[in-house]
Structure 1
Amino acid sequence: MERDMEAAISSSKPTTDRKDLILSEIKRQIWLAGPCIIINVFFSILQIISIMFVGHLGEVQLSGASLATSMAGVTGFSPMVGLACALDTLCGQAFGAKKYSMLGVQAQRGMVVVCIVFIPVTAIWVNVGKILLLLKQDVAIANEAGIYARWLIPGILAFGFHQCEIKFLQAQSIIFPMVLTSGITALLHLPLSWFLVMKSGLGSKGSALSLDISYILNAILLGIYIKFSPRCKNTWNGFSKEAFRDLKIFAKLGVQSAFMVCLELWSYETIVIASGILPNPDVQTSVLAISLNTMNMMYTVVLGLGSVASIRVSNELGSGQPRLAKLAMKVMMSIITVEAGVACLGLFFLRNIWGKLYSNEPEVLDYISSMAPLISISAFLDAYQCGLSGVARGCGRQKICAFINFGAYYIIGLPLAFVFGFLLHLQGKGLWMGMICAIFVQLVCLIITTIMIKWDKEAINALKRTGTEVSAPSNSLEMTQM
C-alpha cells in the first residue's frame, strides 16, 4: 500500500501555472498572517494592562506581580500553549484530508489533556511563594508573588481550553472571529482591571482576577462561535467519547510540542535570573529584562507567521499535496525575511530612542543602546527559526525540534552565556551573546532538518495519521477511509 501511496503522491503535480500558485500562496498567507498577529498582540495586551495597574499600587506589588507572571508563564501558560501546538499537526492535517469530524475530536482530546496538566500546574502555583523563598528571593516580594499566582489559578484552565479552540479554528483558516473575540476581551479588560485593582479594594489580587475573567470570557465567546457557527457544523459535532481514546498518542505529541516551546523560554528566563548576580545587578537585570521584553514584542509578529506556516503545511500534507506544502514553506520563509529585516533594522536605527520607553536613567539608556545591535541580530535569527519551527509542527516533527532546542540552548547556549558573562566579564552583553550562539545553532540545525525533509514521505505520514489511504495512483490523490 505504501508504494501505491508514494507513486500517487509523486505523480500528483499541480496543473496550475507555478507563478499563479506562488501569487495565490502569498495572498493566502498574508491574509492569514495579519489576523494571527493581531490576536497575539491582543493576548499580550491583557498582561501588560494588568501589570500596568499594579504598578500604581507600589514597588513591592509591582515586583511581586511581575515575578508571579514570569513564574506562571514558565510553569503554566507556556506549557499549555505547547500542548495545544500538537493540534497544529493533528487538526491541520485532518482538515487537509477532509476528515472534518476528527478536528472536533482532536480539539477535545487537547482539552482532556489540558485538564490533566491543570492539576500539577495548580500544585506549583499554590506554592510559588515558598518556591521563591527557597530561591532566596526577597520575603515581601515572594509573598506578594505567591498571592498573585494563587489568584491566577482559575484562569489557567480557561486559557488552556482557549488555546485548543484557537488551534481548532486556525486549522480551518477561520481567523477573523478570533480577532473579534480577542479584541472585545482586550477592550473590556481595561475598565475591568481599573475597577478590580483601583476601586474594588482587591489591589494586586484584582489584577490577577481580571486576567482570570478575560481568559474565561475569551474561551466562552469562542466556544459559542464554534457551537453555533455554520462554518464549524462539519468539524464540531458536540462532545464525543472518542475524545478519551488514543489520548496517549495526543499526549506524546503534546509533550514534545510543550518541550519544544518551553526549552527556549526557560533558557531566557535563566539568563535574566543570572543577571541578578552580576556586578551592579539593578542595571544588569533591568536591561536584560527590557531586552527580553523587546524580543517578546518582535516575537509576537513572527509567532503569527509561524502559525500560518503550520496551517498551510499541515493542510497541504493532509490533502496529499507535498509539493504545495513545500511551496508554502518557501513562501513563508520569504515573507519572514522581509518582516525580520524591516523590524531589526528599525530597532537598530531607533536604538537611542527605544530605551526611553522603559527608563529615564542615563546608565540604563546607554546600556540598552549598546545592546540594540545584539537584540537585532538575535531577533533576526529567531524569526527564521520560528518560521521553520512552524513548518516542523505542520509536519508533526516536534520531537526532533525539542532535541534541537535542548542541545542548542542547554549544551551550547547557556554554558557559553556564563563563560562570556562571568569568566570573560562581558556581563549582560556576554549573557545575551550566549543566547545568540544558541539561536544560531538552533537555526542551522532546523535548516538542515528542513532541507532533509522528504515531502512525499511526510504526506504519506499525514495520510496515515488521519486514517487515510490512496486507492490508486493518479494525477490527483484519491483518498478513502481506512
Structure 2
Amino acid sequence: MGSSENDIHQPLLQSYPPSLSPQPSDTKHESDGQLEAILSNGELPFLQRLQQATRIELKLLFHLAAPAVIVYMINYVMSMSTQIFSGHLGNLELAAASLGNTGIQVFAYGLMLGMGSAVETLCGQAYGARKYEMLGIYLQRSTILLTLTGILLSFIYIFSKPILILLGESPEIASAAAVFVYGLIPQIFAYSLNFPIQKFLQAQSIVAPSAYISTATLVIHLLLSWVAVYKIGLGLLGASLMLSFSWWIIVVAQFIYILKSEKCKYTWEGFNIQAFSGLPSFFKLSAASAVMLCLETWYFQILVLLAGLLENPELALDSLSICMTVSGWVFMISVGLNAAASVRVSNELGAGNPKSASFSVLVVTIISFIISVIAAILVLALRDVISYAFTEGEAVAAAVSDLCPLLALTLTLNGIQPVLSGVAVGCGWQAFVAYVNVGCYYVVGIPLGALLGFYFNLGAKGIWSGMIGGTVIQTFILMWVTFRTDWNKEVEEAMKRLNRWENKKEALLK
C-alpha cells in the first residue's frame, strides 16, 4: 500500500476541529474509534475482542436498521393502502391503480431512490471524516439533479395513456390508469427532495425521526384518502393526489427537523452556490447508482411479465403475486439492513477505520442471513396455508405451496445480496455492481428462466428458477469481491474523494 494505517488515519481525523463535533448523544460518535481500537488491540484475547466488538457493532446496527425498516415498511403500506382504497371503487379502478403503481410509479421510485444513493456514499464518508459542511452541499447537489430528472419523468406521467396503449393495455384501463398517474406527478418532486434528505440523515445515524414522521404521516394519509375518495368523491385522482400530498408532508417535516435540530447544526449551513458545481461528475455517480438499483427492481417485474405469457397465466400470476408480496414484506427488513450497512461502512471508511468497516460487513451479513433463514423456514412450514391470507382458491393454494421452496431460497438470498449492495454503496462501487447486475440478471437469469419456463415447459417454477440462478451468481460475485477487498485501500480512496472536495475540485468518483 505504501502508507501505514496511522498515516491514513491522521489527515482524516484531523480534518475538522474537535470543538465542532456533534452532540454527545450521537450514537456514532459515542463509539468513534472505540471499535477500531478494540479490533486493533493485539493484547486482548481474540474471543474477548470479538465479544466487545460485536456488542458495539450490534448496538450501532440496531440503532440504524430498526427505524430504517419502519420507514420502508410504512412507505410500502402507503402505496398499498392507496391501491386498496382504489380497489373498493371497482375492478376497473383496482386494475388502473395497480397498473399505475407497478408500471409507472415503481419505475420512478426505483430511479429516484437509486440516484439518491449517491448521497449515501459521499455523505457517509464525509461524516465519518468529520467534514460536516460537505453533507449539506451533497444534499443540495443531489436535490438539483433529482429535480431535473423529475421534470423529465413527468413527461412519462403526462403521456402515460398513449404509452400504456402502445404497450398493449386496453384503452379503457389505460385511460383510468392515466387519471391515477396524473395525481402522482407531485410525488415525483417529493421523491427528488425526500431521498437526498433521507440519505443525508442516515449518514449521520439519524434515522428515528424519519420513522416517527412516516408513522404519523401514514395515519394522516389513511384519513385524508378516505375523505377524498369516499366523502368528497374524487375517485382515482383523489387517491393518488393524497398519496402525493402525504409524501410532501414527510419531506416538509424532515426538512423542518434539519433546520431545527441541534444534531444537524454543523451538517446544514444553509443554501450554498457550491451546490451547482461538479454536477456532471455527481450525475455520473448518481446514474450508476440508479442503474444498479433499477436493474434489481425491474428484474422481478420481468418475472411477473413472463408469467403472464404462460399457458395458464391467471393461476401463474395469482400464485406469483402472493409469493412476491410475502417476499416484499421480508425484503423490507433486508432493505433496512442495507441502509445500515451502507452507513456503517461509509462512516468507518471516512473515519479511516478499515478494521471496523470490515467487521461491520461481517456482522450485518450474518445478522441479515440469520433473519432471512428464519423467514424461509416459516414459509416452508406454512406453505400449504400461506395463500389463504390472500385468497380462498384451492388451486392457487396448491400452486403457491409448489412455489414455496423457491420463495424460501429467494428469501435466503435476499438476506445476503441486498446487504452486500449496501456495502457497495458505502464504498462507492455502484458502477461495478451495475455491470455485475447486467451480466447476472439479464445475460444469465432472464434467458435461463425463459428457457426453463417455456422450452422445458416448467412454467412459473422454471422462470423463477432461472432467475434465481442469476441472483445466485450475482451474490457469489459480490461475496467474493467483498471478501477480497483491501479495506486500507478503500480508506485511501475515501480520503482522496474528500480531499478533492476540500481543494474545491469535484469531490466524486472518477
Q: For structure 1, list consecutive stretches of 5 or more residues without a partner in the other structure.
A: 470-482
**Which whole-Å CA distance do the structure 2 matches of 1:136 and 1:73 have between them?**
18
Q: How do 1:268-307 and structure 2 match up within 5 A?
A: 268-307=300-339
3-state SS of 2:37 partner: coil
One-letter amino acid of the structure 1 residue matched with residue 57 of structure 2: E
Cα shift readout 1:361-403 (whole Å, capped 9, x = no counterpart): 1111111111111011011112201111111111011111111
- The answer to whether the Cα contact below 8 Å between 1:10 and 1:456 also exists between their aligned partners in 2 is no
Deviates more, 1:15-24 or 1:175-184: 15-24
1:15 corresponds to which residue? 37
What is the CA distance between 1:6 and its match in structure 2? 5.8
Cα shift readout 1:250-276 (whole Å, capped 9, x = no counterpart): 111111111111001112111211211
One-letter amino acid of the structure 2 residue matched with residue 72 of structure 1: I
What is the CA distance between 1:7 and its match in structure 2? 6.2
2:103 corresponds to which residue? 71
What is the aligned residue count? 468
3-state SS of 1:466 partner: helix
One-letter amino acid of the structure 2 residue matched with residue 174 of structure 1: I
What is the CA distance between 1:439 and its match in structure 2? 0.8
1:252 corresponds to which residue? 284
2:182 corresponds to which residue? 150
What is the CA distance between 1:139 and its match in structure 2? 2.1
**Which whole-Å CA distance do the structure 2 matches of 1:64 and 1:380 have between them?**
33
One-letter amino acid of the structure 2 residue matched with residue 15 of structure 1: A
Q: How do 1:309-458 and structure 2 match up within 5 A?
A: 309-458=341-490
**Which whole-Å CA distance do the structure 1 matches of 2:161 and 2:456 have between them?**
34
- The answer to whether the Cα contact below 8 Å between 1:5 and 1:460 also exists between their aligned partners in 2 is no
- The answer to whether the Cα contact below 8 Å between 2:203 and 2:347 also exists between their aligned partners in 1 is yes
- The answer to whether the Cα contact below 8 Å between 1:107 and 1:165 also exists between their aligned partners in 2 is yes
TM-score by length of 1: 0.94
- The answer to whether the Cα contact below 8 Å between 1:382 and 1:439 also exists between their aligned partners in 2 is no
- The answer to whether the Cα contact below 8 Å between 2:376 and 2:412 also exists between their aligned partners in 1 is yes
One-letter amino acid of the structure 2 residue matched with residue 8 of structure 1: D
What is the CA distance between 1:137 and its match in structure 2? 1.5
Cα shift readout 1:13-38 (whole Å, capped 9, x = no counterpart): 94325231221111211222111111
3-state SS of 2:184 partner: helix
3-state SS of 1:85 partner: helix
With over 3 angstroms needed to count, the CA separation of the structure-2 counterparts of 1:249 and 1:349, relative to structure 1, is same
**Which whole-Å CA distance do the structure 1 matches of 2:37 and 2:92 have between them?**
64
1:459 corresponds to which residue? 491
Q: For structure 2, list consecutive stretches of 5 or more residues without a partner in the other structure.
A: 11-32, 39-43, 502-510
3-state SS of 2:234 partner: coil
One-letter amino acid of the structure 1 residue matched with residue 37 of structure 2: T
Cα shift readout 1:49-72 (whole Å, capped 9, x = no counterpart): 111111111111100110110122
**Which whole-Å CA distance do the structure 1 matches of 2:83 and 2:95 have between them?**
10
What is the CA distance between 1:221 and its match in structure 2? 0.3
Q: Does 1:233 align with 2:265?
A: yes
Q: 2:91 aligns with which of 38, 59, 65?
A: 59
Structure of higher RCO (CA pairs closer than 8 Å, 6+ residues apart):
1
1:196 corresponds to which residue? 228
- The answer to whether the Cα contact below 8 Å between 1:9 and 1:321 also exists between their aligned partners in 2 is no
Cα shift readout 1:409-451 (whole Å, capped 9, x = no counterpart): 1000000110111111111111111221111011011111112
One-letter amino acid of the structure 1 residue matched with residue 7 of structure 2: A
